[in-house]
Amino acid sequence: MQLSYIEVVLPVSATAADLVLAVSAEMRRNGMTLNEAKLQEANNLTVKQIVEEGRLICLMESVKVPTAEVASPKRELGSCHCCKTRKEVIFQCTTSKFHRLCGRCSKKFAGVVGCPICNGECTCAHCKRTHTL
């Protein structure tokens, strides 16, 4: 979105600070931010005086990038075997597609080589019930 100008409506008695605030607000509505605003010798001048005397306003804008585009791509979601919640899958067994662990639950099995569920080292309620029977 390239804007060559911004329209703002201000009363004639508005100050230069009011002008900068109005321009900044309009730029925010258009998805940009105002980084720098300079008026040449603009000490307590009104907008009318700035326009009549031909003083320039130099603006530097930057386009906002939505955070969703910047964020790293998410891993696939799946149901964690231990806590039974739908979260990002950190570990998935090669033999059973249902043996999936989220980040929090995979930390419980840090020293385990291979799938903790297949090795019988899982401590979830379901595995405890099936191993005691």
Per residue of the chain (133 residues), what is the pLDDT tens digit?
455 566 777 777 777 777 778 877 877 777 777 666 655 555 566 666 666 665 545 444 455 555 555 455 666 789 999 999 998 888 888 898 889 998 888 888 877 888 889 888 888 888 888 877 6
Q: CA distances (Å), 67 to each of 24, 31, 87, in order?
A: 21, 13, 21
Same domain, 45 and 64: yes
108 belongs to a structural domain: yes
Report the greatest alpha carbon distance in the chain: 91
Domain boundary among 70, 93, 115: 70
| Same-domain status, 104 and 128 | yes
Residue 123 lies in a domain: yes
Contact between residue 100 and residue 92 where contact means Cβ atoms under 8 Å apart: yes
Domain count, the chain: 2
Residue 5 lies in a domain: no
Full residue range of the structural domain in which residue 50 is found = 16-70
pTM greater than 0.95: no
Q: Are residues 120 and 84 in the same domain?
A: yes
User: What is the distance between the alpha carbons of residues 127 and 101, in angstroms, rounded to a whole number?
Assistant: 14
